[in-house]
Amino acid sequence: MPDLLSGLNPEQLRAVTLPRESALILAGAGSGKTRVLTTRIAHLIQTGQASPAGILAVTFTNKAAREMLTRLSAMLPINTRGMWVGTFHGLCNRLLRAHHRDASLPQLFQILDSGDQLSLVKRLAKAQNLDEEKFAPRQLQAFINNCKEAGLRANAVEAGDDFTRRMVAFYADYDAQCNREGVVDFAELLLRTFELLSRNLNLLTHYQERFRYILVDEFQDTNKLQYKWIRLMAGTNGCVFAVGDDDQSIYRFRGADVGNMNEFLRDFGVRDVVKLEQNYRSQGSILDAANAVIAQNKARLGKNLWTAEGRGEPLRIFAAANDEEEARFVVDEVKQLHREGTALADMALLYRSNAQSRILEHALFRAGIAYKVYGGLRFFERQEIKHALAYLRVAANPDDDTAFSRVVNFPPRGIGARSVEQLQEAAASGLGSLARAAKAGAVAGRGGTAIAGFLAIAERLRKASESLTLPELVEEMLSASGLKDHYAAERDGQDRVENLNELVNAATLFNEEFEVGVEPAGESQEDVAPVPGTHQQQVLAAFLAHASLEAGEHEAAAGQDALQLMTVHSAKGLEFDAVFLGGLEEGLFPHDNSLNEDGGIEEERRLMYVAITRARKRLYLTYAGSRMLHGQPRYGIVSRFVEEIPAELCKWIVLPEKQAWASPQKSAWDKPAWGGRSGGGDSWSSGGGRAPRADANQYATAPRASFETSRPDEHPFAIGANVRHAKFGEGVVINFEGRGLDARVQVRFRTEGTKWLALQYAKLTPA
DNA sequence: TGTACTTAAGTTTTT
DNA sequence: CTTAAGTACA
């Protein structure tokens, strides 16, 4: 039997072999967190302290769950199939399916993803004639989710004013509607499970006795409800092994509460806090940079990463004139590294927001570099796929109004807004769902005939769902619904048709795995009461749940060596030899929207910390003087996070053709990069006539001090700088010309319009 | 009702 | 720049 414990450092060993009591593991980035977690599980099983069935392990992403299972089966000769390892949402789904009756849910309940939820909210708001100005659907959606994540039903929410009262009332209506339709949103999965267990003592005791060991990954990302959920599951006798890193808490926007770490220490009487501070991933300079940045945060539990490795290379910093140049630079460096032997898959391009990927993709495509984008438009979120899934959902559950209204007239079959309105009225006045209203003949005339046509399709699919295998059903749906024909006839519909075919493949794959029992959604043996619905219908329900919960972490084409593109958020937990972090501009990273929230900057800084610590050997930080946003150039200054990195860790990169004018006297930024703004043309960004660049390794480098004076952001009133004028108030610099005493800046004031001001006379102060 | 056109608005991050 | 929503017409 392999020795699980060999090779662990003393802290890791201590964590893995802790006695049966609750513990908190503060695991820094790259400190072997996943290894500790999986080894702990393996150790518990190997020493007979726990059986595989007695372990509950919770992660935040499906990827992390899979990773854990893979590593476990490599460590132990056990079948991991029956183990409860998954995301909060996945595990809750499993519990609710198994006990749907106790949870007052139909066995084939559907899961709404964020988009589905939003359209339901919109539909309801419209039906109630809510003023969209005052009650924006997104705001209502956020309100509902926040309430649920705090564990509050509508009747438990305290409303101090009329506005809130109205939202609470809407929340109640929303929940009622979900119940009528038999659908469940993400937050509901958790809340419903929590209520199920807290109301059903038998069930609770059953699971508490079963799961004697609970392990939680990324504990800093748990929200209030998830924490309550863990506490409930653990009971008084449970043993919770929580692993987390407060410095990597980056999901506050969706309710994550780092405070849970302190509550955990208190509530569980934790005596053992183990700090894992030795980093096995990054070389010295990278780690020093990360430490320096995160040290600026005040609210920390305190932890300092160190490495036994050498310093390695300095961080490379590149200031591009614009986003295109930034992309070109990145592509050239990637090429060079690739030539030198780094696999594409060992390199990553990270960015703050998904919108930044487009221009990178464009440059990569032109350069013929294989790349893979994670996140962004996910497979299961594409329009055509959502339509297809909606047909399947109608087949699984005719009362699913969201699905019904999505496809009742798609492809167009002559059912207009008026008819749908009539259906909604009929449904609201007692008939229940849209489908029931339709069957009852709520719409007469032409619309009624068309609706009958749709009902026929729905009924045909429902019948088919009883007997056909999943892929067969999908095929049948694609033709019966007319979706395939519709997109095939569309001008640019080829991609969509291909995606629909891809859906058949996905169904085939899912079906095979389900039959083998890999997919944990269909719980086995003791936990499942005999349920209605044929086997095929259960496969369908599992597939639909899968589509919602796993929005398509599409695996890269197998074996393909491809450059990795993703947001910093989705990079958490991953590591690469070389990392390019782009868009390091104020307003983008840290993002503007974070500035107003309290604690926002610290959260952004943690995000920066996560980004830096993804790199093993080489880290590039780039930013652009101007960037296209909403079709308009937007001028940026370097992110404060770059400034927080000690200069001696950095090497500034200057393109060869720029050396001539990158001197302290004459600024590279005096080039009319934004001159086109007032003139109307944009000759610069087209980049025509630019000489081919030398190889990446021939870049000249400038010591930071001398280069700094030539950066626009060193100018006190550089493009993009926020300024205050005694008379005109606050504004932003959008252009400037001249130098020294002659310098004039153009400022767009918040209230006074745009003005040219001579620096010598105008009383401008940085704001 | 459906299509074609114009206009407005939007993008932080995700289970 | 892209998408959603709004308007005019067949």
**DSSP H or E segment with residue A725:** strand A722-725
Across all residues in chain A, what is the average pLDDT?
81
Is A148's pLDDT higher than 90?
yes
* A692/B5 CA-to-C1' distance in Å: 43
Is A671's pLDDT higher than 60?
no
The pLDDT-based confidence of A448 (bands split at 50, 70, 90) is confident
Q: pLDDT > 90: what percent of chain A? A: 39
Average pLDDT over residues A303-326: 90
* A591/B12 CA-to-C1' distance in Å: 7
- Main-chain dihedrals φ then ψ at residue A130, nearest 5 degrees: -70, 140
**Torsion angle (degrees, nearest 10) of CA A171, A173, A175, A179:** 180
Nearest residue by alpha-carbon distance to C1' of B9: A630
pLDDT at A662: 42
Q: Which residue is it, tokens 């050396």? A: A659
Q: Which nucleotide across the nucleic acid strands is nearest to A254, CA versus C1'?
A: B14
Of A511, A500, A473, which is closest to residue A387 (Cα–Cα)?
A500
| DSSP per-residue string spanning A683-723 | HHHH-TTPPPPPPGGG-EEE-HHHHHTTSGGGSTT-TT-EE
* Nucleic strand C under 7 Å from the C-beta of A417: no
The pLDDT-based confidence of A391 (bands split at 50, 70, 90) is very high
* pLDDT one-digit tens code per residue, A484-514: 888 887 766 777 888 888 888 888 888 888 8
pLDDT at A228: 94
Identify the weakest region by mean pLDDT among A58-67, A114-123, A328-337, A740-749: A740-749
Mean pLDDT is highest, among A156-170, A254-268, A605-619, for A605-619
CA distance A382 to A388: 10
* pLDDT one-digit tens code per residue, A586-606: 888 888 888 877 788 899 999
pLDDT at A359: 85
In the 140-199 segment of chain A, residues within 7 Å (Cβ) of strand B are 186
Tokens of A733: 């610099």
* pLDDT one-digit tens code per residue, A531-551: 457 889 989 999 998 888 876
Average pLDDT over residues A51-63: 90
How many CB atoms lie under 10 A from the CB of residue A432?
A: 15
pLDDT at A670: 31
Specify the higher pLDDT residue, A385 or A730: A385
* pLDDT one-digit tens code per residue, A259-289: 899 999 999 989 889 999 999 999 999 999 9
* Nucleic strand C under 7 Å from the C-beta of A122: yes
Q: pLDDT > 70: what percent of chain A? A: 81
The pLDDT-based confidence of A643 (bands split at 50, 70, 90) is very high
pLDDT at A411: 86
* A124/C10 CA-to-C1' distance in Å: 32
Is A754's pLDDT higher than 80?
no
Identify the weakest region by mean pLDDT among A20-34, A40-54, A311-325, A736-750: A736-750
pLDDT at A683: 26
pLDDT at A416: 77
Q: Which nucleotide across the nucleic acid strands is nearest to A119, CA versus C1'?
A: C4
Of A550, A549, A542, which is closest to residue A98 (Cα–Cα)?
A542
- The answer to whether A693 and A367 have CB atoms below 8 angstroms apart is no
pLDDT at A744: 60
pLDDT at A278: 93
Of A593, A628, A7, A92, which is closest to residue A355 (Cα–Cα)?
A628
Is A31's pLDDT higher than 70?
yes
- The answer to whether A305 and A610 have CB atoms below 8 angstroms apart is no
* Nucleic strand C under 7 Å from the C-beta of A133: no
- Angle between helix A114-127 and helix A162-181 axes, rounded to 10 deg: 110
pLDDT at A765: 67
pLDDT at A421: 79
pLDDT at A23: 94
Tokens of A729: 């108030």
In the 62-81 segment of chain A, residues within 7 Å (Cβ) of strand B are 62
Of A409, A486, A483, which is closest to residue A447 (Cα–Cα)?
A409
* A417/C6 CA-to-C1' distance in Å: 14
Specify the higher pLDDT residue, A460 or A758: A460
* A286/B12 CA-to-C1' distance in Å: 25
pLDDT at A317: 94
pTM attached to this predicted model: 0.79
The pLDDT-based confidence of A635 (bands split at 50, 70, 90) is confident
CA distance A34 to A26: 12
Q: Which residue is it, tokens 């700088």? A: A721
CA distance A113 to A639: 34
pLDDT at A707: 27
CA A267 to chain CA centroid, nearest Å = 30
Specify the higher pLDDT residue, A506 or A229: A229
Average pLDDT over residues A157-164: 86
Q: What does DSSP assign to residue A648?
A: G
As a whole number of Å, the CA-based R_g of chain A is 29
Cis peptide before A672 (omega within 30 of 0): no
Nearest residue by alpha-carbon distance to C1' of C1: A631
Nearest residue by alpha-carbon distance to C1' of B10: A630
Tokens of A318: 């590149």
Average pLDDT over residues A167-171: 91
* Nucleic strand C under 7 Å from the C-beta of A492: no
Number of helices and strands in chain A (H, E): 30, 22
* pLDDT one-digit tens code per residue, A672-719: 222 222 222 222 222 222 222 333 332 333 333 222 226 343 345 666
Q: Which nucleotide across the nucleic acid strands is nearest to A115, CA versus C1'?
A: B14
pLDDT at A553: 53
* Nucleic strand B under 7 Å from the C-beta of A412: yes
Is A71's pLDDT higher than 80?
yes
Is A404's pLDDT higher than 70?
yes
Active site residues of A: 33-34, 217-218, 248, 614
- The answer to whether A330 and A547 have CB atoms below 8 angstroms apart is no
* A131/C6 CA-to-C1' distance in Å: 17
CA distance A288 to A649: 8
- The answer to whether A474 and A544 have CB atoms below 8 angstroms apart is no
pLDDT at A525: 36
pLDDT at A616: 94
User: What is the SS3 string spanning A394-416?
Assistant: HHHCCCCHHHHHHHCCCCCCCCC
The pLDDT-based confidence of A526 (bands split at 50, 70, 90) is very low
- The answer to whether A147 and A171 have CB atoms below 8 angstroms apart is yes
Q: Which nucleotide across the nucleic acid strands is nearest to A628, CA versus C1'?
A: C1
Spell out the alpha helix ranges (H) of A47-113: 62-75, 88-98
Q: Is A160 helix (H, G, I), strand (E, B) or coil?
A: coil
**DSSP H or E segment with residue A362:** helix A357-367
Is A336's pLDDT higher than 80?
yes
Q: Which nucleotides of B are covered by protein (CB under 7 A)?
A: 1-3, 9-15
* pLDDT one-digit tens code per residue, A351-375: 998 888 888 888 888 888 888 888 7
* Nucleic strand C under 7 Å from the C-beta of A630: yes
How many CB atoms lie under 10 A from the CB of residue A402?
A: 22
Average pLDDT over residues A606-619: 95
